[in-house]
Homo-oligomer: A and B are copies of this chain.
Amino acid sequence: MNTFGHLLRVTTFGESHGPAIGCVLDGCPPGIAIAPEDFVHDLARRATGTSRHTSQRHEADEVEILSGVYEGVTTGTPIALLIRNTDQRSKDYSKIAAQFRPGHADYTYWQKYGIRDPRGGGRSSARETTMRVAAAVIAKKWLADRHGVRVYGWLSQLGEIAPQGFDASVIEANPFFWPHAAQVDALETYMDALRKSGDSVGARVTVVADGVPPGWGEPVYGKLDGDLAAAMMSINAVKGVEIGDGFASVAQKGSVHRDVMTPDGFLSNHAGGILGGISSGQQVVVSVAFKPTSSLRLPVDGLDADGNVVDIVTTGRHDPCVGIRATPICEAMLALVLMDQALRHRAQCSDVGDVSPRIPGSITTDAKR
């Protein structure tokens, strides 16, 4: 199950320290202009080592297009993308191959498969997400060109720190994807202290899509929110997914939560742009919880394959907050799910003509942000 999507299907492969990682994007419409340089921007946004707050692994992340593109345009056949792993530090893995770090997938892979690739986390490494970001470059392009849909996101919580303001224009101007410029210095200080302590912290990422037309998504098990939940939860370190108000809905009254429709648009967006599994034309809003990474310089007890307690100290290159560079990954999953649903929608419902009334989605600025 290294494939997701029903019509737009992404298959990824590769281990953290294997020769390469790659993906196959199948079901993509023909006629989309794509060049290797199109991948540079988003891959750089998720890359490690671009600030002192992320892992210092330096990967070139150069994308080779192996198939599916002819003279710069997609042909409708599967698009294979390949990235060679270049910054693999050779070391002796024989000792750690049969040691299980707490909070990692070491033990569960071992129990499932009876074997595991210990090099940098193998398949369970966040390096796999590189290919999601690459595949989504094509999805973002199609969504924008064909439907005017724009996907973007930001860090909506870092540890206990929440944004004290929201300005979309500053998100890309700081290494945290933080939407409030005045807090960036404090975040730097916080992260420096955290890194020094050897500990890590969790984060929340929020991603949105503007311009999604009403009608994307399917009842009952192909719901847009259901697909988004699966897509986000498939990202490493994710422990929770919310649509719209999410868990805040628990304490809400129905008279507050229900978003009133007027001919001029919705008066609020507690639903996060999805009703009954189908987009409403409002902004689609998804929030994602990232756990703190378990790779710490602080020593801890682990187990080995003989059942003995072993001392675990992580000396490698790791992010003290994996959520910091997760924004492009969450964007990628949102874009891929939306494009898949858009294709599914036109497959089933192209016979349906224009449907009135189509009311404008109100893009609200609510507390959530």
Of A50-58, A166-174, A183-191, A255-263, the one contacting chain B is: A255-263
Known: A111-B280, A344-B347. 15 other contacts (CB 8 A): A2-B26, A6-B6, A15-B68, A29-B352, A112-B278, A112-B345, A114-B349, A202-B249, A204-B247, A240-B240, A247-B247, A249-B289, A254-B296, A271-B291, A346-B347
- Nearest B residue to A15, CB-CB: B67
How far apart are the CA atoms of A356 and B114 in the complex, in Å? Answer: 9
How far apart are the CA atoms of A103 and B222 in the complex, in Å? Answer: 20
- Interface status of A75 (Cβ within 8 A of chain B): yes
Q: Which of A209-255 contact B (CB under 8 A)?
A: 214-223, 225-234, 236, 238-247, 249-255
How far apart are the CA atoms of A1 and B223 in the complex, in Å? Answer: 8
- Nearest B residue to A236, CB-CB: B276
Known contacts A240-B249, A241-B233, A276 near B7 by CB under 8 Å = no
Against B, the Cβ 8 Å flags (1 = close, 0 = not) of A13-40 are 1110011111010111111000000000
- Nearest B residue to A227, CB-CB: B230
B276 touching A113 by the CB < 8 A rule? no
Q: Shortest distance in angstroms between A1's beta carbon and chain B's nearest beta carbon?
A: 2
B240 touching A30 by the CB < 8 A rule? no
- Interface status of A157 (Cβ within 8 A of chain B): yes
B201 touching A220 by the CB < 8 A rule? no
Against B, the Cβ 8 Å flags (1 = close, 0 = not) of A102-132 are 1111011111111111010011100010000
Q: Lowest 4 CB-CB distances: which A-B pairs, in order?
A: A105-B276, A1-B222, A103-B258, A200-B254
- Interface status of A3 (Cβ within 8 A of chain B): yes
- Nearest B residue to A289, CB-CB: B247
- Interface status of A351 (Cβ within 8 A of chain B): yes
- Which B residues are in CB contact (< 8 Å) with A278? 105, 108-109, 111-112
How far apart are the CA atoms of A44 and B240 in the complex, in Å? Answer: 30
A229 touching B233 by the CB < 8 A rule? yes
- Which B residues are in CB contact (< 8 Å) with A199? 253-255
- Which B residues are in CB contact (< 8 Å) with A124? 219, 276
- Interface status of A343 (Cβ within 8 A of chain B): yes
- Interface status of A47 (Cβ within 8 A of chain B): no
Known contacts A252-B291, A294-B258, A357-B306, A215 near B108 by CB under 8 Å = yes
Q: Shortest distance in angstroms between A350's beta carbon and chain B's nearest beta carbon?
A: 6
- Which B residues are in CB contact (< 8 Å) with A346? 346-347, 350
- Interface status of A359 (Cβ within 8 A of chain B): yes
- Which B residues are in CB contact (< 8 Å) with A359? 303, 307
A292 is contacted by which of B253, B259, B307 (Cβ under 8 Å)? B253
